[in-house]
A and B are shown apart, each in its own frame.
Chain A
């Protein structure tokens, strides 16, 4: 019962934050509601017993990635979003299509499946157990990930550097 209450409360916070992200016009408000969504999701992960995932959700997502977003919003001095008139057909067809899709998926999941229940802390995701998997079974993907991160760092530096500073570095060798 307690599990269900906690799930519902933080699920509602999640959905509220996601809807607020759509409704806000200023990017900084959207970014802060995304932080709320990520924090509430970390609690949902804890309810499922995924302690390590909840911790890195807070540190990496709500911490690092969102700081990057807020930093870029402030750096570019992003103002309010301009309202542009979209296609009327897209509104008339798109919103009913999204709602119909959601209703069908929810109905199929809730009424037609007996997928079972997830008990509170069903699968304790201790860091030690995850590390055991990560450094044995998933060692190759883990190493490939490190190459990916290295390429991402170099790409970010090259893309964000000012053209004139790149030229100067080339000339000076």
Chain B
């Protein structure tokens, strides 16, 4: 069953009218996930909302929150002898302190784009005389795929496959935002696909401890409109709970098999987020019994020197402190062709989305 264009338009009309009636005072809602940011722009939802509803992008773009030090380490590994790097495509253009993986690849480094972490194992099997390092970046959605790949590598007895891990967990970053006195968020559109793995429990503190409404939301335009409607209904009724708009995919307990595999291979650890600094228990590191797959432990590098680009306000964008157009680089010295900061690189980065969909009309509500 599918909705006709007319049915979709009627449903969108219902939600936009209901939202306009529900909002009594200006509200600031954060769409945590970069995929939501892009979907909101593509479907023109900002233009449909009243001026009193502000949507602000959050930290849910893994490439964006990965600090320069990680990129610099990956770039250093790309110059290592007999080394192949495998990575998701969106890491290639992210600027490190001095270079990018793309620039290193152009100059001869063996860097291969993979669709799945499992593809790295085929590369490792075909190149037994070399080491293969997978750049393991991503949130709860992606981390189990890396964990499962490590279990496969172990089963296949591969001793030339490693990961450079920068996996992160979303809830601790939300706690940091909620604890910051200078960041106001009246409600969260929570990421549907991290919750598909973790379930709702890790997000309950948003409502129970901070009394802020939250709705786990899907990615179609009507899903997002319904998510915003559900948030505003909670706000209007002085309620704060973690609701689930995306019930067709998100079960309350998440994907327990995926969580088991994740917990078998990884354990929480402090991690540095661009814009946030270090957040306790927000990263994932390999458990001691899998440290044989840890590139950093097994393939030592000379110390990497890291610096952040001058004037770049990517970090403040990621926390919801400022909007992309408040950065002095935005659209001038920082464009998708010549990005200064990570948020302009990833297609899901807030700056890239604002630039692509908002050129010349950046003054959205």
**A and B assemble together:** no
